[in-house]
Amino acid sequence: MELEKLLDRVSDEESFLRFVRALQADRQDEVEKKMRNPSSSYSSGANGWENGSIESFLDAAIAWAEDSNFGDSQNLSGASVWKKVATFLYCGKTYE
């Protein structure tokens, strides 16, 4: 299942862990693809990862949280904490 669909379905601990496992697998897949066919350091990776180090991943997630008031500006104000944290992690992948 696509990562974004799993993110949309996060509502509790079980669905959160399913999403995190998929996020980890997505990152591992990108690392393996990059080893076979290196991409430019100025573009996102094969799976759309903008942030390849833990430092840049966390910087991006924090920036998203601060810029969006932890998702309130993206209609997450009524979402479960599980959904908000999953979105935080997802934005570590994609937010610039």
Q: What is the pLDDT of residues 49-63, one digit of tens each?
A: 999 899 999 999 999
Label residue 18 by pLDDT band (50, 70, 90): very high
pTM: 0.88
In percent, the amount of the chain with pLDDT more than 70 equals 94
Asked if residue 17 is part of any domain, the answer here is yes
Asked if residue 45 is part of any domain, the answer here is no
Domain of residue 69: give its range: 3-36+53-94
Q: Are 90 and 84 in contact (CB under 8 A)?
A: no
Asked if residue 48 is part of any domain, the answer here is no
Q: Are 50 and 93 in contact (CB under 8 A)?
A: yes
Mean predicted lDDT score pLDDT of the chain: 92
How many independent structural domains does the chain possess? 1
Q: According to the 3-state scheme, what is the secondary structure of 8-70? A: HCCCCHHHHHHHHHHHHHHHHHHHHHHHHCCCCCCCCCCCCCCCCCHHHHHHHHHHHHHHCCC
Mean pLDDT of the 36-48 span = 76
Q: Which residues, 6+ apart, have CB-to-CB distance to 57 below 8 Å?
A: 51, 92, 93
Asked if residue 81 is part of any domain, the answer here is yes
Asked if residue 44 is part of any domain, the answer here is no
